Amino acid sequence: MGLNNPAMPIDTAIATKLDKAIGWARESSLWPMIFGTACCAIEFMSVAASKYDISRFGAEVVRFSPRQADLLIIAGTITYKQGPILKQIYDQMSEPKWVISMGACACSGGFYDNYSTMQGIDEIIPVDLYVGGCPPRPEALLDALLTLQADVKTNKYDPNRHKDFKGLLDNV
């Protein structure tokens, strides 16, 4: 926006839509909460380390408390045993919130088609973006982040988009 342009006269007023201003502010201040359970969490470590460096995109303030985060990244396999924990974490996050499902296991159970593995986290919580791969390369996760940011900026996400979502652990 060039707000720090020294050529700009002082006491400038800018007129814009409130939604636009909020979208612009949210875009580069996503605070991710990493629910890292398995191999994908190791790839997330790469995303956070210097080579891929997620902080270039303003999303490096990794919180491990869901109450302080607005982007939930599920990195790894979710088993039935983990189900209630994931649900609780999701519920504890305040609105607005977004969910990225990272890797084949979180998206669909991956190649663990068996008695203990949940066949995709969207059985219990709503997901906004799916990232394929086992594990996905760091670039893939960064691409998901950039896609999300672009949509957050333009307020593409309807706050009521998951109103009718009903997961396996809802109202049981």
Q: Which residues bind other proteins (CB under 8 A)?
A: 35-39, 41-43, 45-46, 49-51, 64, 76-77, 79-85, 89, 105, 111-119, 134-135, 137, 168-169, 172
Q: How far is the CB of 26 from other proteins (least distance, A)?
A: 24
Shortest distance (Å) from residue 83 CB to other proteins: 5
Closer to other proteins by Cβ: residue 23 or 120: 120
Of residues 23 and 138, the one with the C-beta less far from other proteins: 138
Three-class SS string for 72-138? EEEECCCECCCHHHHHHHHHHCCCCCEEEEECHHHHHCCCCCCCCECCCHHHCCCCCEEECCCCCCH
Residue 136 structure tokens:
């996905």
Closest separation between CB of residue 165 and other proteins, Å?
Answer: 17
We find the least distance from the C-beta atom of residue 76 to other proteins, in angstroms, to be 7
Check: CB of residue 24 under 8 Å from CB of residue 58. Answer: no
- Output 4 or 50, the one with its CB closest to other proteins: 50
Nearest Cα neighbor of 163 from 109, 88, 86, 95 is 95
CB-nearer residue toward other proteins: 80 or 157? 80
- The values of phi and psi at residue 110, to 5°, are 60, -145
